[in-house]
């Protein structure tokens, strides 16, 4: 009976990485295994709610095909039907390999380094630029956040409203007409607030 009792039973505040809304969530972990994910009620972003993608975070976490260790290609040949020959290596070996390659590039010509990536939040945007400047290459940038993220909605939101997103304001409108897809389909962060005020 004593062995069956939970050694650990915790609710851990964290954030969903399913999209750029980065909704706050609580992960219920029992004995090292996450058994439930739900929205954090203390969050002003998602007000304690999660979309299906956020709730399915457990499936992502425990997906048997999820890569959670460094892999090294052993077959230099590339092509659609060619096995890359991935083998698992230690984090130490992975970091040493990357550091050695970066050191070689920096000694030869730092401008050979092209550093780019897609970010989730605006906090990550400066990373590539700062790293590139410290490395000595002008070739560093991030894309995918702010007005270049998701869809054209952000671009037009910035141009028309000086806003990252366009969303109805139920506090100041009497009628709301929505044409096209459901408002909550791709932007749960705005719908949760609207639903509480309507």
Q: Exposed/middle/buried for 25, CB within 10 Å: 0-12, 13-18, 19+?
A: buried
Burial 141-159 (b: 16+ CB within 10 A, else e): ebeebbbebbeebbeebbe
DSSP code per residue over 133-178 = HHHT-S-EEEESSGGGSSSHHHHHHHHHHSSS-----TTS-S----
Residue with tokens 């945007």: 125
Can you give the pTM of this predicted structure? 0.55
Question: Could you give the CA distance from residue 71 to residue 82 in angstroms, rounded to a whole number?
Answer: 17
Domain ranges in the chain are 68-108, 112-164
Using left for φ > 0, alpha for ψ between -120 and 50, and beta otherwise, residue 135 falls in: alpha
Cβ contacts of 129 within 8 Å, gap of 6 or more: 140, 141, 142
pLDDT tens series, the chain, 198 aa: 455 666 999 999 999 887 777 889 999 999 999 999 999 999 988 889 888 888 889 998 999 998 989 999 999 999 889 999 999 999 999 999 999 999 999 999 999 988 776 665 556 667 777 888 899 998 877 665 544 455 556 656 666 666 666 666 777 777 766 666 555 545 555 666 666 666
Question: Could you give the CA distance from residue 88 to residue 72 in angstroms, rounded to a whole number?
Answer: 6
Question: Could you give the CA distance from residue 45 to residue 142 in angstroms, rounded to a whole number?
Answer: 24
Using left for φ > 0, alpha for ψ between -120 and 50, and beta otherwise, residue 85 falls in: left
- Enumerate the β-bridge partners of residue 141: 116
Question: Could you give the CA distance from residue 37 to residue 60 in angstroms, rounded to a whole number?
Answer: 12
Residue with tokens 């000694």: 107
Tokens of 74: 């052993």
pLDDT at 89: 98
Tokens of 112: 């050979």
Tokens of 132: 């590139």
């Amino acid at each position: 009976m004593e062995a069956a009792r939970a050694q650990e039973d915790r609710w851990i505040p964290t954030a969903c990485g399913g999209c750029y809304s980065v909704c706050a969530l609580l992960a219920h972990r029992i004995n090292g295994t996450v058994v439930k994910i739900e929205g954090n009620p203390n969050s002003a972003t998602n007000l304690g709610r999660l979309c299906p993608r956020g709730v399915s975070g457990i499936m992502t976490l425990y997906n048997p095909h999820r890569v959670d260790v460094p892999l090294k290609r052993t077959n230099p040949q590339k092509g659609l039907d060619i096995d890359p020959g991935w083998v698992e290596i230690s984090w130490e070996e992975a970091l040493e390999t990357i550091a050695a390659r970066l050191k070689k590039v920096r000694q030869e010509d730092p401008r050979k380094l092209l550093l780019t990536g897609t970010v989730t939040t605006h906090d990550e945007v400066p990373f590539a630029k700062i790293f590139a400047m410290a490395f000595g290459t002008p070739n560093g940038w991030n894309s995918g956040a702010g007005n270049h993220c998701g869809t054209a909605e952000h671009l037009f939101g910035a141009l028309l409203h000086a806003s990252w997103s366009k969303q109805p304001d139920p506090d100041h409108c009497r009628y709301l007409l929505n044409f096209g897809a459901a408002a909550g389909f791709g932007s749960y962060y705005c719908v949760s607030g609207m639903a509480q005020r309507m």
